């Protein structure tokens, strides 16, 4: 294999590595973003749960007020009982007191229910908060690994880019410019001959072209796909 071809293959190896590094670098921000979204979702769910606890506390407060209103009413009616002379008024007050007592009982029952619910919500929230913290730490660890990888990849990219000119200067400028042109369209520019066909586009190559490649004097381009042809050693 002539030196030009060898240098081209070396350059192609470097370029493939550059492509792989770039492809990985391109994917990482999406990965990090999806990790961040996962943290956000978990956080929102936790906040929702905390909100229902706050809501419950508000309900408890309003029940407290209702209860003391009922107690006030009962007290007031009891005082009034001692002052009324009229029988029907007396009975009406008794029935008011009775009604207020029933309401008070219902409020107290509801308060007990809310207290139980509050206890279990509080317990759940603590468990969920713990789970969230564990999950958040795991996600942050994964993000840190991605960020570290970005630094590694950028270093690799820099090293590969520094190696590139060394190979380029071994190759004729005309061939390099063709190589760069084809590289924009195709991931592999230099392809082996497989059977009697171009390893890139699979077209059957004419005998004179196979001969030219065999002679190994000039760089031979596939007439169909413009890739550079070589016989693997």
What's the closest the beta carbon of residue 220 comes to Zn ion, in angstroms? 11
Considering only residues 12 through 51, tell me which ones interact with Zn ion, judged by CB under 5 A.
none
Task: Determine, following the binding rule CB under 5 A, whether residue 225 of this chain makes contact with Zn ion.
Answer: yes
Q: How far is the CB of 230 from Zn ion (least distance, A)?
A: 12
Residues in the interface with Zn ion (CB under 5 A) total 6
The 3-class secondary structure across the chain, one letter per residue, is CCHHHHHHHHHHHHHHHHHHHHHHHHHHHHHHHHHHHHHHHHHHHHHHHHHHHHHHHHHHHHHHHHHHHHHHHHHHHHHHHCCCCCHHHHHHHHHHHHHHHHHHHHHHHHHHHHHHHHHHHHHHHHHHHHHHHHHHHHHHHHHHHHHHHHHHHHHHHHHHHHHHHHHHCCCCHHHHHHHHHHHHHCCCCEEEEECCEECCCCCECCHHHHHHHHHCCCCCECCCCCCEEECCC
Residue from the set 95, 140, 154, 224 that interacts with Zn ion by CB under 5 A: 224
Nearer residue to Zn ion within complex by CB, 200 or 220: 200
CB of 193 to Zn ion, least distance (A): 10
Q: Minimum distance between the CB of residue 164 and Zn ion, rounded to whole angstroms? A: 25
Show the site string, 164-203: x = touches Zn ion by CB under 5 A, - = not: ----------------------------------x-xx--
Stretch that binds Zn ion, among 129-137, 164-172, 209-217, 223-231 (CB under 5 A): 223-231
Which of 130, 224 has the CB closer to Zn ion?
A: 224
CB of 3 to Zn ion, least distance (A): 23
Interacting residues toward Zn ion by CB under 5 A: 198, 200-201, 222, 224-225
């Amino acid at each position: 294999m002539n030196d030009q071809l060898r240098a081209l293959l070396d350059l192609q190896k470097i370029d493939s590595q550059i492509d792989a590094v770039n492809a990985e670098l391109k994917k990482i921000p999406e990965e990090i973003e999806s990790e961040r979204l996962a943290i956000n979702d978990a956080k929102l769910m936790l906040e929702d749960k905390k909100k229902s606890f706050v809501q419950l506390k508000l309900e408890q407060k309003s029940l407290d007020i209702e209860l003391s209103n009922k107690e006030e009413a009962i007290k007031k009616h009891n005082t009034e009982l001692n002052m009324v002379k009229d029988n029907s008024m007396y009975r009406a007050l008794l029935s008011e007191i009775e009604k207020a007592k029933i309401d008070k009982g219902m409020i107290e029952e509801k308060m007990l229910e809310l207290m139980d619910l509050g206890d279990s919500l509080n317990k759940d929230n603590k468990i969920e908060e713990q789970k969230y913290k564990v999950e958040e730490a795991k996600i942050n660890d994964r993000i840190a690994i991605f960020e570290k990888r970005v630094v590694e990849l950028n270093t690799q990219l820099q090293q590969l880019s520094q190696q590139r000119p060394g190979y380029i200067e071994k190759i004729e400028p005309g061939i390099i410019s063709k190589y760069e042109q084809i590289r924009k369209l195709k991931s592999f520019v230099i392809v082996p001959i497989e059977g009697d066909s171009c390893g890139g586009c699979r077209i059957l190559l004419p005998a004179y072209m196979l001969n030219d490649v065999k002679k190994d004097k000039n760089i031979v381009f596939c007439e169909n796909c413009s890739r550079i042809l070589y016989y693997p050693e």
